[in-house]
Structure 1
Amino acid sequence: MSVTGSHQTGLPLAQHPTSIAAQLKARLPADDLTILPIDDERVQCLFFTTLIDQKRYHREIVPHLQAWAREPEQWRALFPQSKRLDQLEAAVDELLHGSVLLLGAGDPGHALAIPLRNIQHRSIQEPSVEKNVIGAKESFTEDFEINIGLLRRWVKDPQLDVRCYEVGRRSRSKVGVVYQADIARPDYVDKIVERIEAIDIDALHAHRELMDMLIDRRVTPFPLYEMTEIPSKAAAGLAKGRIAVFFEGSPFAVMLPTVMMTMIDGPENMLQGILVPGFVKAIRIVAQLLALYAAPLYLAIVTVDSFILPTEFGLTIASDQSGLPYAPVVEVVLFMIILDIFIEGTSYVAGNIGPAINVFGSLVIGEAATQTGLMSRMMMIITAITVIGTYLASYQLSYAVRVWKYPLIAAASIMGLYGIMLLSVGLLSHLCSLQSLGVPYMSPLAPLRLSDLFGREVIMSSTRDASLRTGIYAPQDRGRQPGGGGGAQ
């Protein structure tokens, strides 16, 4: 395990147990640090009461203390999981990680560290963000070791490599980099590891903060890394040559590199046969396009380009808007902002209050706004289409869609359909310029890779016919079945 940041090193422990205890107390002046003198202070026992398992302490350590005081050279037999330390900072680290330190007069200048960490964690539950109907019903938790264990349940491969690090001089948060050593591209792994080892910051407390340090800085609302809470989905990504990054305290795995097409996948696409996954992905793409373009197209048609409407339809819309006290652009912007407020309310309000807010906003406020003449009936339809498209879109991508619709609304109000077209070209150019660990964000569309575009990444082919891995992530071994070939291509 690599520890980043500069720590005080090289300071040895004192010779007598009481002097070592004083050193540690001066370094850790916390009330929950317990120091127990035993056998006329010939043995000192130190631990954080808030970190260790008290039952294990009384069961595994207390009965052996007298024997260890008489024969300190038998420490391996008495405490098989212990480590013998002679440096102050190493002893401090062990205490902060939930170990019990034993200091004995028969072993001057040394301490035994016995891991007894007891961090409470929630049980494995169903996914809360990536809902699925017939997929696996387990998700990652906030416990680092449990998450690695869940992944190993799906990948029982000796080539599954796990590298662990600590980041943050104060937080010392645990980070794990997991990949298939014979599949993942080595330079991708090296780039992630180098950036983790180069982190020198006081504390990191969330996955987002870590990814800010790992991903190339780009001003974009589009996510350049994919987060998943489903172990089976993470395992499928590893099999393609992707790399999973775990952060202690986060119930998600970050998958790198990331391309836009993989983020449109549903969590159970692999479980629906041959044709259904392509249909589901098409529905998700249409949903995102509706969430992005429904309001701008409506505004462009009713303001700048109303001449393209059939006469009867144009008269219907004009009659619908005749009683509004403000211009259509104000109506669209106002109700798109209200829509985003409702979406945030349903996402973050605790318990059953969020769905209640959604029902209240969509039915009561929408109907009241229509009846009082503050909202046209057509705008209510557009709002409903937008919210449905937003909910069907990928959770991470939905924020980019919600941000980009406002520039499109502004362009539509000024230049109509021509403005939407110009800004769409700019949007595509922006997407094509993005990269994740050097992989083009729009792969396999740009650059065009027909074998991947019409293979498992877009129209899910039969597993029986999938002899090659997708080439998007440049895996070392592309062969999946006999006849698939191997080696990097």
Structure 2
Amino acid sequence: MLFRLFGKKKKEKPKPYSQQMEQMKNQKLEKRIQKNSSNLKEIFQNDSDFSFREFQLFGNTSAVAFFISSLVDKEKINRDIIKPLQKEEKSKKESSKSPSTSSILNEVLYYCDGEMGSDMKAVIDALLHGKTVIFIDCEKEALFLDTFKPEKRGISQPETERVVRGPRDGFIEQMQTNISLLRYRLPVPEFRVDPMEVGKKTKTKVSVCYLDNIASQELIDEVKKRIQDIEIDRILDAGYIEQFIQDNPRSPFPQVQNTERPDKAVGNVLEGRVAILVDGSPFALIVPAIFNQFYQTSEDYIERYMITSIIRVVRFMALIFSLTFSSLYITVLSFHPEMIPAQFVVAASSGRSGVPFPVVIEVLLMEVAMEILREATVRMPQQVGGALSIVGVLVIGEAAVSAGFVSPITVVIIALSTIGSFATPSYNAAIAFRLLKYPLIILSGFIGLLGLATGLMFIINHMISLRSFGVPYFTPVSPWNKQGFKDALIRAPLRWLTERPAELHPKDSVRVESGVKEGPTNPLADEKRGDSNE
């Protein structure tokens, strides 16, 4: 009992650092500038780029400016903040009352992006977003001034979506620059950019872009809802958002389109779709997406329709080649040799003489070797990757044929299949077909033509069942839409594309005003000018 009365009190265990920080963040700012400053210094005590500058406001009031030096423009702080606040004005010196935070923001500083805050959490968020925070003695509110200076690369031609004819500018990692590229092409007040924030730790800025008088309100609300429902601590690229908002994450086919091209994003927004920009990513997401978008390019609408239609058919054939050519080769040689024309029988049989493997094993080995070589080419430095791809294909192919492991015709088939996958403009769609090629090869090797047909039926049935934000993936084929088919496998003349895609349910469906107009005139014709051939 005496020990309890006169003994030393048991020391309380110090609270963990994280709990102290949480309590400090929830505190309101006090009028004492020393208390606010000490709390902020304690939070950022181990950060080398945390800086502060104490000064006298108009020569008679204590003030301090806090900023993260790696995020801000120091020249702007010195010129536009510290210098005007230190300048002694006669009206301020004569006044006995210290200036308020609001009067400084509205009367002294030349800043269009300035605001005030009254709690420590807002102060910390402002600092971490590149703002300069100013505490003034005897004021319970702090000034937040935007001095963010991001390091960014210049606007250059997109690397993954090159065109022969068309704009050469592409998105970069800074979202404000990307928004300016869209606004440059859409100078209308109906263009909306709704800001959001995703990621508990990264607090990544996300913008939802659409045309208010065209895009369906149900689509806009659904896009925002899916983004708001994302619960994750980090968003480092637009690909994170894509994986959370797609309808069927187990499908190999992409249900969200991505692009580096501002003109392509604007074209889709004008059709009634929604573009999603993520800060730190040079790719914009476009929803909803349907299958025929993945073998189309923005250049298709710049060139003449006849040339574009032929090129689209070639791309589609290349896509089918990359999926089925190897499997069809196995089927014909292993189960249906009677399908080989008579003039090619000798070449096919003599080329396979001496090969120790069945056709299916031979094709699988070559396909896997080609995938390894392709992946190595992508991951190697650019100076070495090109040489590796050329030397690798020539040396490995020639050595395999000379050693008798594969037949020459197999090398030709695998090369055509690989080149067909390169002709697909969309990288993620090409990957899906490259992966689905292997189940078809195995089915063809065991069952023959029945296995190939069964595999294709499963793939087509799966694609028909897919939805992207409620829009059928195989539109306009299933369900059939005559107007939409004008811009599917072929590209009809622009004057025929009078309506926006019906599956998007746009508020304004008219894209090209239809009506009888005068045809082109010939002002320089000889009969109109009255010229003679004398």
| TM-score bracket for this pair, using the shorter chain length | over 0.9
Counterpart for residue 33 of structure 1 = 50
Tell me how far 1:184 sits from its aligned partner.
0.8
Contact 1:164 1:174 in 2 (8 A): yes
Counterpart for residue 77 of structure 1 = 107
How does 1:2-17 map onto structure 2 within 5 Å?
11-17=27-33
Counterpart for residue 156 of structure 1 = 187
Counterpart for residue 370 of structure 1 = 401
Counterpart for residue 55 of structure 1 = 75
Tell me how far 1:387 sits from its aligned partner.
1.5
Question: Which sits farther off after the overlay, 8-17 or 249-258?
Answer: 8-17
Tell me how far 1:280 sits from its aligned partner.
1.3
Contact 1:346 1:358 in 2 (8 A): yes
In structure 2, the residue corresponding to 1:103 is in which secondary structure?
strand
For residue 121 of structure 2, the aligned residue among 75, 89, 100 is 89
Mapped partners of 1:462, 1:309: distance in 2: 41
Mapped partners of 1:346, 1:473: distance in 2: 40
Question: Which sits farther off after the overlay, 199-208 or 221-230?
Answer: 199-208
For residue 147 of structure 2, the aligned residue among 106, 111, 116 is 116
Tell me how far 1:430 sits from its aligned partner.
0.5
For residue 442 of structure 1, the aligned residue among 474, 496, 508 is 474
Q: After superposition, give the CA deviation of every residue in 1:433-470 in whole Å (9 maximum; x if it has no partner).
A: 111101011100111112211x2344222223332112
Tell me how far 1:482 sits from its aligned partner.
3.1
Counterpart for residue 44 of structure 1 = 64
Q: After superposition, give the CA deviation of every residue in 1:76-124 in whole Å (9 maximum; x if it has no partner).
A: 2222332111011111111010000111114x22110110001110000
Question: Which sits farther off after the overlay, 335-344 or 26-35?
Answer: 26-35
Task: Point out where structure 1 has 5 or more consecutive residues left out of the alignment.
Answer: 1-6, 485-489
Mapped partners of 1:24, 1:466: distance in 2: 60
Contact 1:287 1:389 in 2 (8 A): yes
Counterpart of 1:87, as a letter, is D
Q: After superposition, give the CA deviation of every residue in 1:273-306 in whole Å (9 maximum; x if it has no partner).
A: 1212211110110011111111111111111222
Counterpart of 1:450, as a letter, is K
Mapped partners of 2:506, 2:380: distance in 1: 42
Distance 1:168 1:245, change over 3 A: same
Larger Rg, first or second structure (1 or 2): 2
For residue 276 of structure 1, the aligned residue among 302, 307, 325 is 307
Counterpart for residue 324 of structure 1 = 355
Tell me how far 1:401 sits from its aligned partner.
0.8
Q: Does 1:381 pair with 2:407?
A: no
Q: After superposition, give the CA deviation of every residue in 1:387-412 in whole Å (9 maximum; x if it has no partner).
A: 21011013221101100000000011
Tell me how far 1:10 sits from its aligned partner.
5.4
Let me know the Cα RMSD of the aligned residues: 1.9
For residue 245 of structure 2, the aligned residue among 190, 195, 214 is 214
Contact 1:18 1:44 in 2 (8 A): no
Tell me how far 1:26 sits from its aligned partner.
3.0
The TM-score normalised by the length of structure 2 is 0.86
For residue 487 of structure 2, the aligned residue among 447, 452, 456 is 456
Q: After superposition, give the CA deviation of every residue in 1:42-78 in whole Å (9 maximum; x if it has no partner).
A: 2111000000011111111121222599533332222
Tell me how far 1:347 sits from its aligned partner.
2.8
Q: Does 1:238 pair with 2:277?
A: no
Counterpart of 2:432, as a letter, is A
How does 1:192-211 map onto structure 2 within 5 Å?
192-211=223-242
Q: Does 1:23 pair with 2:39?
A: yes
In structure 2, the residue corresponding to 1:158 is in which secondary structure?
coil
Q: After superposition, give the CA deviation of every residue in 1:201-249 in whole Å (9 maximum; x if it has no partner).
A: 2211121211222222431111111111111111000111111001111
Mapped partners of 2:39, 2:247: distance in 1: 43
Q: Does 1:306 pair with 2:337?
A: yes
Contact 2:243 2:249 in 1 (8 A): no
Mapped partners of 2:106, 2:87: distance in 1: 12
Q: After superposition, give the CA deviation of every residue in 1:175-212 in whole Å (9 maximum; x if it has no partner).
A: 01000111111111101111222223221112121122
Tell me how far 1:25 sits from its aligned partner.
2.5
- Identical counterparts, % of pairs: 28
Mapped partners of 2:480, 2:383: distance in 1: 45
Mapped partners of 1:174, 1:350: distance in 2: 32
Counterpart of 1:75, as a letter, is L
Mapped partners of 1:466, 1:308: distance in 2: 43
Distance 1:243 1:223, change over 3 A: same
Counterpart of 1:23, as a letter, is N
Q: Pick 1 or 2: higher relative contact order, CA cutoff 8 A, min separation 6.
A: 1
Tell me how far 1:144 sits from its aligned partner.
0.4
Counterpart for residue 487 of structure 1 = none
In structure 2, the residue corresponding to 1:472 is in which secondary structure?
helix
Tell me how far 1:353 sits from its aligned partner.
1.8
In structure 2, the residue corresponding to 1:268 is in which secondary structure?
helix
Tell me how far 1:265 sits from its aligned partner.
0.4
Contact 2:313 2:490 in 1 (8 A): no
Task: Point out where structure 2 has 5 or more consecutive residues left out of the alignment.
Answer: 1-21, 93-97, 516-534
Counterpart for residue 278 of structure 2 = 247
Mapped partners of 2:374, 2:141: distance in 1: 58
Mapped partners of 1:343, 1:283: distance in 2: 23
Mapped partners of 2:230, 2:120: distance in 1: 24
For residue 412 of structure 1, the aligned residue among 429, 433, 444 is 444
For residue 175 of structure 2, the aligned residue among 127, 144, 147 is 144
Counterpart of 2:104, as a letter, is Q
Q: After superposition, give the CA deviation of every residue in 1:248-273 in whole Å (9 maximum; x if it has no partner).
A: 11111111000011111023001111
In structure 2, the residue corresponding to 1:11 is in which secondary structure?
coil
Mapped partners of 1:304, 1:154: distance in 2: 57
Contact 2:210 2:273 in 1 (8 A): yes
Distance 1:297 1:279, change over 3 A: same
Contact 2:248 2:466 in 1 (8 A): no
Moved >6 Å (runs of 4+): none
Contact 1:457 1:470 in 2 (8 A): no
Mapped partners of 2:354, 2:512: distance in 1: 66
Task: Name the count of aligned residue pairs.
Answer: 476
Counterpart of 2:298, as a letter, is P
Question: Which sits farther off after the overlay, 236-245 or 77-86?
Answer: 77-86
Mapped partners of 2:231, 2:41: distance in 1: 26
